[in-house]
Amino acid sequence: MSNAFARFAGRFALLAALSLGAAGCGINAVPTQDEQVKAAWSEVQNEYQRRADLVPNLVATVKGYAKQEQTVFTEVTEARAKATQTVLPPDILTNPAAFHQFEQNQAQLTGALGHLLAISEAYPDLKSNQNFLALQDQLEGTENRIAVARQDYINAVRRYNTTLRTIPSRWIAAIFYPDAKPYQTFSANEKAQQAPQVSF
């Protein structure tokens, strides 16, 4: 009985040592960081959806004051449709073309919303409308949350992609997670890279 117990205890100790060694060598880093990237991506999509949900009310409010701005309303409506109705492929995070298209669609909606909000400067009554001000505040808050969500996603991707490229985690990924691929990340848009024009 004690001999069987000793063998069991020895096997248990060996299994425990192997488990601790595997955990210590980073074998779980790839799936852990993969899940962090996916969670961060879900938050990015959630915030973009929140913004898209605000657009119809914002357009309707502005239309009440600026009916002649039909071109801008059409631009915003079309940009929203493109940003929300595009079916995202399952591999969007590892598909550069699909990821870039998603990013472009969102940037187009950002630009269209900028034009819509700029209209308010020409309509003092609109600028003082409580519904418009509330929507504008919600949109501003959402844009801030989008920026934070994108930054969190970028950081999660950086950690994950670094894990896939550095040794020894690169070897571990090749052995245990051969299908793991680097994820795409956001890039600064062209307007953000240009120096602002200042005139006095």
Q: pLDDT 10s per residue in the chain (200 long)?
A: 567 766 766 666 555 544 545 445 678 999 999 999 999 999 999 999 999 999 999 999 999 888 888 899 999 999 999 999 989 999 999 999 999 999 999 999 999 999 999 988 889 888 889 999 999 999 999 999 999 999 999 999 999 999 999 999 999 999 999 999 999 999 876 554 444 443 32
The torsion defined by the Cα of 160, 161, 162 and 168, in degrees rounded to 10, comes to 80
Asked if residue 120 lies in contact with residue 127, where contact means CB atoms within 8 angstroms, the answer is: yes
Q: How many CB atoms lie within 10 A of CB 173?
A: 23
Q: How many CB atoms lie within 10 A of CB 4?
A: 8
Q: What is this structure's pTM? A: 0.81
Q: What value, to the nearest 5°, has the Cα angle with vertex 137 and ends 61 and 119?
A: 45
pLDDT for res 198: 34
| Domain range list for the chain | 28-186
Cis bond before residue 168 (omega within 30° of 0): yes
Query: Among the CATH numbers 1.10.3720.10, 3.10.450.40, 1.20.1440.20, 3.40.50.10470, which is that of 28-186?
Result: 1.20.1440.20
Spatial distance between the Cα atoms of 1 and 124, rounded to a whole number of angstroms: 91
pLDDT for res 61: 92
Give one word for 195, left, alpha or beta, with left for phi > 0 and alpha for psi -120 to 50.
beta
